[in-house]
A and B are shown apart, each in its own frame.
Chain A
Amino acid sequence: SYVLTQPPSVSVAPGQTARITCGGNNIGSKSVHWYQQKPGQAPVLVVYDDSDRPSGIPERFSGSNSGNTATLTISRVEAGDEADYYCQVWDSSSDHRHVVFGGGTKLTVL
């Protein structure tokens, strides 16, 4: 089965840039989606199809995907960005599509 690997934690000072990686075998050939989850809340989609932003998501959130690594980049980090972030892909096997989530990364704003 397909595995997505994320670092458990990333720390960054306010105003700096946070980069959260998501590793997977040839992940560059897949579309990667990113979710932000704050405590006690449902996940929120922040980036879809590698690098697109849903309506209402600040431009500070961006994404890239190439080779074996996808990256969520958060520029000019704010205290309100502190949350867990999950990457997700659809994997196809045996004529079915199934969902794979990364293990999640806790972003701490120092």
Chain B
Amino acid sequence: QVQLQESGPGLVKPSQTLSLTCTVSGGSISSGGYYWSWIRQHPGKGLEWIGYIYYSGSTYYNPSLKSRVTISVDTSKNQFSLKLSSVTAADTAVYYCASDGDYGDAFDIWGQGTMVTVSS
């Protein structure tokens, strides 16, 4: 059973780069057919998709964040990562990593989420 776990700083200063890592356990990140994704949720708000890296290595980002987002994979560590540059208070949110698994392309695998606050 694949499990995901986010890690990274809980506090980031404005204008800096937010960096988070998602560790995959119980399976290989190189396995075919998975969309390794990042999703965030502003306090009290809905879910916002940030982007994904496909098992083939191709990436696609939410157009509203595209200029600031990079998602990459480290197969040696079975991890994928999120970098969001030039952060502001508007990037304060709970960040989830997620993936499709056993149910088509639905996100049935989620990390527990990590709260990131942007503040000086």
Residues of A within 8 A of B (CB): 1, 31, 33, 35, 37, 42-45, 48-49, 52, 54, 84, 86, 88, 90, 96-104
Could you write out 8 A-B pairs with CB less than 8 Å apart? A37-B47, A42-B111, A42-B113, A84-B46, A86-B46, A99-B49, A101-B47, A104-B47
- In the bound complex, how far is the Cα of B49 from the Cα of A42, in angstroms? 14
Given contacts A49-B104, A103-B46, contact A98 B60 (CB under 8 A): yes
Q: Quick check: B46 and A104 within 8 Å, CB to CB?
A: yes
- In the bound complex, how far is the Cα of B50 from the Cα of A101, in angstroms? 11
**Chain B residues whose CB sits within 8 angstroms of the CB of A104 once the complex forms:** 46-47
The list of the 8 closest CB pairs from A to B, nearest first, reads A99-B49, A48-B106, A33-B106, A42-B110, A104-B46, A48-B103, A101-B47, A45-B108
**Chain A residues whose CB sits within 8 angstroms of the CB of B48 once the complex forms:** 101
* Minimal beta-carbon separation of A22 from chain B (angstroms): 12
Determine whether B37 belongs to the interface, using a CB cutoff of 8 Å to chain A.
yes
Q: Quick check: A1 and B63 within 8 Å, CB to CB?
A: yes
Chain B residue with the shortest CB-CB distance to A53: B103
Determine whether B34 belongs to the interface, using a CB cutoff of 8 Å to chain A.
no
- In the bound complex, how far is the Cα of B112 from the Cα of A90, in angstroms? 23
* Minimal beta-carbon separation of A51 from chain B (angstroms): 12
- In the bound complex, how far is the Cα of B39 from the Cα of A91, in angstroms? 16
Most chain A CB neighbours (cut-off 10 Å) among B37, B104, B106: B106
**Chain A residues whose CB sits within 8 angstroms of the CB of B80 once the complex forms:** none
- In the bound complex, how far is the Cα of B102 from the Cα of A54, in angstroms? 9
- In the bound complex, how far is the Cα of B108 from the Cα of A104, in angstroms? 18
Given contacts A42-B111, A43-B107, A52-B103, contact A98 B47 (CB under 8 A): no
- In the bound complex, how far is the Cα of B102 from the Cα of A31, in angstroms? 15
Chain A residue with the shortest CB-CB distance to B48: A101
- In the bound complex, how far is the Cα of B110 from the Cα of A95, in angstroms? 26
**Chain B residues whose CB sits within 8 angstroms of the CB of A90 once the complex forms:** 105
The residue that B46 contacts in the complex, of A54, A96, A99, A101, with Cβ under 8 A, is A101
**Chain B residues whose CB sits within 8 angstroms of the CB of A96 once the complex forms:** 60
- In the bound complex, how far is the Cα of B70 from the Cα of A23, in angstroms? 31
